[in-house]
Homo-oligomer: A and B are copies of this chain.
Amino acid sequence: MNLLSPLPNADIAERVHVLLARPGLRIARIVSHGQASPPGFWYDQAEGEWVLLLAGAARLRFADEPETRLLAPGDWVDIAPHHRHRVDWTDPTGPSVWLAVFYLTDSAAGASDRLMILPNLGG
């Protein structure tokens, strides 16, 4: 299975493809083509997100930083839970491909495990 080809057409909207889903862990490929977060919108996620740009170009903005970060292929960022951020810009001239690893942190992971285990107790 290949992350870079074929790529889905993301002209109309970002395309998200979950590659792996485990308790407390999700790996996804996201393909953007010029999309950005809506004006004034900030992601405020309960999960941590380790994100790598594989192709294209993008600008990431953190609420507590005055400047956007320009990302090139190979650039990665670890976004802590509730670190407010937005995608300010993605290259409109071609696809930008992200690899995102969403993970639950310590206490949240414990909660997730309990949710996983409970349904099996009566089994």
* Chain A residues within CB distance 8 Å of chain B: 1-5, 19-20, 22-25, 27, 48, 50, 52, 54, 72-78, 99, 101, 103, 105-106, 109-110, 113, 116-117
Contact = CB atoms under 8 A, between A and B. Distances in A.
Nearest to A7: B74
Nearest to A25: B103
A118 B41 CA distance: 39
Given A27-B101, A52-B3, A101-B27, A76 B19 contact: yes
A72 B2 contact: yes
Contacts of A5: 74
A76 B2 contact: yes
A92 B24 CA distance: 37
